[in-house]
């Protein structure tokens, strides 16, 4: 069969899709571009916002338009929480939630597979297989790979549907994860991005700690650079910060969800930290890694975010060494506790707050880049080249370019950062 895939949402989804396609190719199928005619279309879905769900529906319609005879398998988070709705969309052949999506290659191989629904419809169902944890990584790019080390979440923040879609926190053991890292070495990737839903809870079901995994990974020969895709501030221990500062291969780049700079809004969100804790983590990072890049997720327009609370968020972010923001606009997610909270923010105000946070993010990012001009940072060059230039990331996540040189593809080189070689791009 010719198989095409489309992935929506987070890096975790990309790692999972890539793993599925690698297994399908090993079974003799041909992987083709999403825009071409295929026999099977796989759509790995997201449910984090209403916009993400709309994109899932659009992708389903696109697949059906490209080949009305093709099978369409809808998998992942949206498939987990809205299976009944998705099954009724014309062209959909198979719906697999998160707890069964890794079975797709076996289902495709079995004869006569037909439309099959997961539990769903009405209130979202928690993923049923709480312990299954297939270690997966993305491939196809020898420069960087996304390595899924953890899945699920027990936190149930009031705005978030992910615990319903991905179930409770789960991971493999440190030993199993290190074995898989060895396979990634064999594929030749130079940089590994550790991904998960709530990565800092890695190992909790086995009585192990995330920092022990980091220590083990740092000792794996053949992997030169690691990034931690995201970690909750309350789980970012001083042990982890100090370890990263002195490690062989972990890069000075952190992604620490903030969501709001108002303690009142953080409480309504049921986040497990306050602004004082968040500030202390960032100051600690900058104390031991002054050039570290620190990104923060932030949500605009959650319940309780009146002008006074929003002003607190703006001034809190402004006062911190945050390099840039990932800004999300709050939208109601079915089944979440936020639906029952008061203090709703009108939708136009949510968008206005989003806009102001994006402006703040751009200013913070410019300030971060200015602080790095004149410094030398190691850059991993990528294979893609346009107009005789090639691009890469510094260790502290600044995008830079240089004239194309085939011998530099996938090589790490110290680069003096200048206003000319830094690429400004939306983060
Ligand atoms: S920590 Fe909160 S926001 Fe993150 S996945 Fe868990 S419930 Fe969702």
Distance between CA atoms of residues 315 and 355, nearest Å: 15
Mutate to test the pocket of ligand 1, among 11, 160, 326 (most ligand atoms within 8 A of CB): 160
As for how many domains the chain has, the answer is: 3
Residue 117 covered by a domain: no
Mean pLDDT over residues 45-53, rounded?
80
User: Which pTM does this prediction carry?
Assistant: 0.86
Q: Which atom of ligand 1 is nearest to the CA of 259?
A: 3
Q: Would the CA dihedral through 261, 267, 270, 273 be positive or negative?
A: positive
Residues in CB range of 87: below 8 A, 6 or more apart: 95, 115, 117
3-class secondary-structure state, position 127: coil
Q: Ligand 1 centroid to 75 CA: how many Å?
A: 20
Q: Do the domain assignments include residue 292?
A: yes
Q: 129 in a domain, yes or no?
A: no
Would you say residue 42 lies in a domain?
Answer: yes
- Using CB distances shorter than 6 Å, the residues near ligand 1 are 153, 155-157, 160, 162-163, 197-198, 232
Q: Does the pLDDT at position 127 exceed 60?
A: no
Spatial separation of the C-alpha atoms in residues 109 and 152, rounded to whole Å? 28
Convert the pLDDT of each residue in 333-381 to its tens digit: 888 999 999 889 999 999 999 999 999 999 999 999 999 999 999 999 9
Take residue 324 and report the two structure tokens written for it: 């840039």
Residue bearing the CA closest to ligand 1, atom 8: 160
pLDDT at 113: 54
Three-state SS for 218? helix
Whether residues 282 and 301 share a domain: the answer is yes
What CATH number did the domain enclosing 196 receive? 3.80.30.20
359 and 383 share a domain? no
Name the DSSP letter for residue 151.
B
Report the chain's mean pLDDT, rounded to a whole number: 90
Q: How many C-beta atoms surround the C-beta of residue 147 within 10 A?
A: 25
Same domain, 169 and 103: no
Boundaries of domain holding 407: 376-416
pLDDT interval class at 180 (50, 70, 90)? very high
Q: Which among 390, 396, 392, 400 is positioned nearest to 371, based on CA atoms?
A: 396
Among all chains, which residue has been given the structure tokens 């992604």?
255
Query: What ligand 1 atom has the least distance to the C-alpha of 271?
Result: 2
Distance CA 381, CA 32 (A): 26
The model's pLDDT over 292-325, given as tens digits with 9 standing for 90+, comes to 999 999 999 999 999 999 999 999 999 999 999 9
Tell me the best of 157, 235, 272 to mutate to test the pocket of ligand 1, counting ligand atoms within 8 Å of each CB and taking the most.
157
């Amino acid at each position: 069969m010719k198989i095409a895939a489309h992935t929506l949402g987070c890096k975790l989804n990309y790692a999972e899709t890539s793993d599925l396609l690698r297994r399908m190719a090993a079974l003799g199928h041909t992987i083709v571009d999403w825009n071409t005619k295929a026999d099977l279309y796989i759509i790995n879905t997201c449910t984090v916002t209403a916009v993400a769900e709309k994109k899932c529906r659009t992708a389903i319609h696109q697949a059906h338009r490209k080949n009305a005879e093709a099978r369409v398998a809808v998998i992942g988070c949206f498939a987990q929480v809205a299976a009944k709705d998705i099954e009724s969309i014309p062209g959909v052949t198979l719906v697999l939630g998160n707890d069964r999506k890794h079975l797709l290659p076996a289902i495709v191989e079995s004869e006569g597979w037909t439309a099959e629904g997961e539990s769903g419809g009405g209130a979202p169902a928690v993923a049923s297989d709480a312990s299954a944890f297939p270690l997966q990584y993305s491939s196809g790019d020898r420069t960087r790979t996304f390595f899924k080390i953890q899945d699920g979440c027990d936190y149930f923040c009031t705005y978030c549907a992910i615990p319903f879609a991905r179930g409770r926190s789960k991971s493999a053991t440190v030993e199993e994860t290190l074995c898989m890292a060895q396979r990634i070495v064999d594929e030749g990737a130079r940089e590994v991005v550790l991904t998960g839903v709530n990565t800092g809870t890695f190992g909790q079901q086995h009585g192990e700690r995330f920092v022990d995994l980091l220590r083990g990974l740092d000792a794996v020969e053949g992997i030169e650079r690691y990034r931690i895709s995201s970690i909750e501030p309350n789980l970012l221990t001083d042990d982890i910060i100090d370890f990263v500062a002195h490690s062989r291969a972990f890069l000075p780049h952190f992604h620490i969800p903030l969501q709001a700079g108002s303690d009142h809004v953080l409480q309504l969100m049921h986040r497990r930290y306050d602004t004082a804790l968040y500030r202390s983590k960032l100051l600690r990072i900058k104390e031991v890694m002054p050039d570290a890049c620190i990104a923060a997720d932030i949500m605009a327009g959650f319940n309780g975010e009146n002008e006074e609370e929003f002003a607190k968020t703006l001034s809190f972010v402004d006062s911190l060494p945050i390099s840039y923001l990932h800004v999300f606009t709050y939208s109601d997610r079915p089944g979440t506790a936020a639906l029952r909270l008061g203090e709703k923010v009108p939708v136009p105000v949510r968008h206005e707050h989003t806009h102001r946070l994006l402006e703040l993010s751009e200013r913070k990012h410019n300030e971060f880049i200015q602080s790095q001009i004149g410094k030398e940072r190691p850059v991993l060059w990528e294979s893609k080249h346009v107009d005789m230039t090639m691009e890469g990331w510094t260790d502290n996540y600044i995008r830079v370019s240089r004239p194309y040189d085939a011998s530099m593809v996938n090589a790490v080189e110290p680069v003096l950062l200048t206003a000319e070689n830094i690429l400004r791009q939306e983060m």
